[in-house]
Amino acid sequence: MRSSLLTYLVFLLSCCSLPCSILAQGNPSSNSDPNIIDSQAVESVVQEQPQKSDTIILVDGQPIRFIPSVSMSWGRSHSPHVATMYAAVLPGLGQVYNRKYWKLPFLYGGAVALGYCIHFNNKYYKKYSSAYRDFLIQDPNNKSYMEFVNKAHLTEDEVLNTYSLWFQNALKNKKDYYRRYRDLSIFGMIGLYLVQIIDACVDAHFYNFDVSDDLSIALLPEVSPSNGGTFGAGIALNIK
């Protein structure tokens, strides 16, 4: 009987002490478990971090700037605009910029040939034009047409009488002939100038273009964003 009463008292004491233990465990101030996260501390840490849309917060709390997708390559920057401007300012300078030196002899050779054609045709055009004008006027003090009379192995009387109409038409045809080829030579010079500008521009566009038959593979570093607010680094494979 006495042992039963003792057992009952021990049971009552244990039941009374259980709520106190539960309350003590539920008190935040008495928490010493390092595995439980304090929500107030987390909020304070988050508030201290800079709120920027272009940063990524790592595990150690250090911000890192967001890096967009970038493909990097190494090579000389070649500008078609610069090549065009050089060729426009000085013919041949655009070809020098493109390192197409072998085109310079053709360019300047053509320019010299066309320049000579312009000079030659213009010289004889002026001669025949003056002779044709003087022959029509028949001014005794201006007989520039006599230069061509002597070349035709004729006398002045024959030219003025017997062969007057024939000689007049001959002078006119020669005048028109040299004027026509003088003008064509001028247009040829202008065309050569425009062609060398276009050539310099096109060569600059294809300066870094590989025209060989062999295929080549280029490995380039690349940094690109991914889902989840992170970024990744890799290697881009370019087949040409």
What's the pLDDT at 128? 94
- The DSSP letter of residue 55 is E
**What does the DSSP assignment read for 179-222?**
HHHHHHHHHHHHHHHHHHHHHHHHHHHTTT---SSS--EEEEEE
- State how far the alpha carbon of 149 is from the alpha carbons of 51, 128, 131, 137, in Å: 100, 12, 10, 16
Burial of 97 (0-12, 13-18, 19+ CB in 10 A): buried
Contacts of 151 (CB under 8 A, 6+ apart): none
Minimal CA–CA distance to 196: which of 95, 85, 101?
Answer: 95
What's the pLDDT at 140? 81
**What does the DSSP assignment read for 66-79?**
----EE--------
pTM: 0.56
Contacts of 207 (CB under 8 A, 6+ apart): 78, 98
Token representation of residue 102: 């072998």
Q: Which residue has the tokens 């028109």?
A: 176
Token representation of residue 168: 């007049």
pLDDT tens-digit series, residues 154-177: 888 888 888 888 989 999 999 999
Contact present, 215 and 231 (Cβ < 8 Å): no
Give the three-class secondary structure for 5.
Answer: helix
Q: How high is the mean pLDDT in each 10-residue block of the chain (240 residues)?
A: 53 51 45 48 47 47 49 63 96 95 96 97 95 88 84 80 88 95 97 97 87 63 65 63
Contact present, 209 and 221 (Cβ < 8 Å): no
